[in-house]
Structure formats: C-alpha cells, structure tokens
C-alpha cells in the first residue's frame, strides 16, 4: 500500500448475510485482533455470529481498505424478548431503575452488537462512519449497546455521537468484567 492509500478513508458497503458468511473468518480475525482476545475466540464466536444473521432486523456494514480487505465491521439487529442480552439488560434496568425505565429503553430498540476496526485502520473516522451508516438504516426509536467499562477509544466515540448511560458497572451473567450499557435515541443528532 502506498502512503497515499494508507491514509485514505475506508470505503463502506452494506453486507448481506451471504456476504458476511463468505468473509466470516476474515471478520472474526479482525474482531479478535481489535478486541485483543485470545486466538481460539474466533472459532468459539462463529456459531453466534451465524445465528445473529438470522435475527429480525439484522444489518451489517463493512469498511474496506484500498486493497479491498476488511478494515472494519459493524452489525446489529432488533432487540427482542427471549434474547439473552435483552433479558440481561432488562433485568438490570428493572433492578436499578424500575419497570418503566426498562420499558422505555427496551420496547423498541436496535442492538448494536459488534463494532470493530482493524488496529492499523483506526483513528481515521472509520469507526464513526460505520456506526452512523449502520444506525442510519435502523427503523427503531432507540439504540442500545454494551462495552467494557472505559476509558477507551470506544467510549470516546460513543460519547461523541451522543450515547448516554443506561447501566454502569453492570455484570452480565457468567462474565466477571464490568460493562457500561449505553443508549441513544434515533436518529442520532
Ligand atoms: C472503537 C473503535 C471501533 C473505533 O474505531 P476508529 O476507526 O478508531 O474510530 P474513529 O476513527 O471514528 O475515531 C477514533 C479517533 O480518531 C479520530 N479521528 C477521526 N477521524 C480522523 C481523521 N480524519 N484524522 C485524524 N483523527 C481522526 C477521532 O477523533 C477519534 O479520536 P479519539 O480516539 O482520541 O477520541 C476501534 O477503536 C476498535 O475497534 N476498538 C477495539 C474494539 C472495540 O472496543 N470495539 C467496541 C466494542 S463495544
């Protein structure tokens, strides 16, 4: 890649489930690298990503570097009762803020499930462009996501585009880490 190419913006494209299946190992490698997870995590997560593609409202945006390789990925779907993450977030909201707050956030929302940019392509706007492109196509009134407690580049990005605290220092069942659950009304400001 030339110096001009390496500093040029990444091209965004909406990916169908078929497109993502064809690039699944590349996408999972990117995810594991961006999150600094151990190598075996990719195989462990593959069935989950494949199952997510079948969910109502699933949409995915890919970012491509000048060589046509995947530089970033964002996907999500409509959050619904019975989904593990949905039930976990509702439980937390009911415990801490009551059923009205739980309803306000969880009756009509898009779950931003994954957002990752390859480390060598970070810091040029790709993450924010992916996030905005994905959410521009959502039909729900709100968006929710969870991210490990910061500070991190992800937190700065979410704050920059207007996400507010929904749950802080929250523990999902079976995961010792603390997470923030953040939300915003759609469309983003
Ligand atoms: C979080 C993440 C997706 C953000 O992606 P990104 O492409 O780096 O995001 P952006 O480029 O939009 O913004 C990152 C920084 O670049 C800056 N930036 C944006 N466009 C720029 C440009 N043209 N020139 C210089 N800097 C720029 C932003 O101001 C921002 O600065 P900051 O980090 O100091 O706040 C990425 O860092 C990542 O994959 N992290 C690891 C995985 C992760 O945490 N995912 C989220 C889990 S929920």
pLDDT at 48: 97
Distance 98 CA to ligand 1 centre (A): 34
Return per-residue pLDDT of the chain as tens, 189 residues.
666 566 788 999 999 999 999 999 999 999 999 999 998 999 999 999 999 999 999 999 999 999 999 999 999 999 999 999 999 999 999 999 999 999 999 999 999 999 999 999 999 999 999 999 999 999 999 999 999 998 999 999 999 999 999 999 999 999 999 999 999 999 999
Cα-to-centroid distance, 48 and ligand 1 (Å): 25
CB-based contacts of 112: which residues, under 8 Å, 6+ apart? 74, 76, 131, 134, 135, 143, 144, 145
Write down the pLDDT at residue 3: 62
Residue with the smallest CA separation from ligand 1 atom 36 is: 117
At a CB cut-off of 8 Å and minimum separation 6, what does 45 contact?
Answer: 28, 31
Could you tell me the residue ranges of all domains in the chain? 7-185
Protein residue closest via CA to atom 21 of ligand 1: 124
Task: Tally Cβ neighbours within 10 Å of residue 94.
Answer: 15
| Nearest Cα to Cα of residue 126 among 77, 161, 74, 164 | 74
Write down the pLDDT at residue 7: 72
75 included as an active-site residue: no
CATH architecture entry for 7-185: 3-Layer(aba) Sandwich (3.40)
Binding site membership of 148 for ligand 1 (Cβ less than 6 Å): no
Q: Do the beta carbons of residue 62 and residue 12 sit within 8 Å?
A: yes
Question: For the stretch 15-52, what's the b/e string if a residue is b when 16 or more beta carbons lie within 10 angstroms of its beta carbon?
Answer: beeeebeebbeebbebbbebeeeeeeebeebeeebeeb
């Amino acid at each position: 890649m030339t110096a001009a190419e390496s500093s040029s913006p990444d091209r965004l494209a909406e990916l169908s489930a078929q497109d993502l299946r064809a690039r699944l190992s590349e996408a999972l490698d990117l995810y594991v690298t961006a999150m600094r997870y151990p190598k075996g995590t990719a195989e462990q997560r593959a069935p989950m990503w494949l199952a997510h593609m079948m969910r109502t409202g699933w949409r995915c945006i890919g970012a491509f570097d000048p060589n046509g390789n995947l530089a970033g990925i964002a996907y999500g779907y409509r959050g619904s009762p019975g989904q593990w993450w949905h039930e976990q977030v509702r439980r937390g909201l009911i415990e801490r803020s009551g059923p009205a707050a739980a309803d306000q956030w969880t009756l009509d929302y898009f779950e931003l499930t994954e957002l990752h940019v390859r480390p060598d392509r970070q810091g040029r706007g790709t993450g924010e462009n992916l996030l905005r492109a994905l959410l521009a196509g959502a039909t729900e009134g709100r968006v929710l996501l969870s991210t490990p407690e910061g500070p991190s580049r992800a937190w700065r990005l979410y704050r920059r585009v207007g996400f507010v605290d929904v749950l802080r220092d929250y523990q999902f069942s079976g995961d010792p880490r603390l997470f923030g659950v953040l939300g915003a009304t759609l469309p983003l400001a």
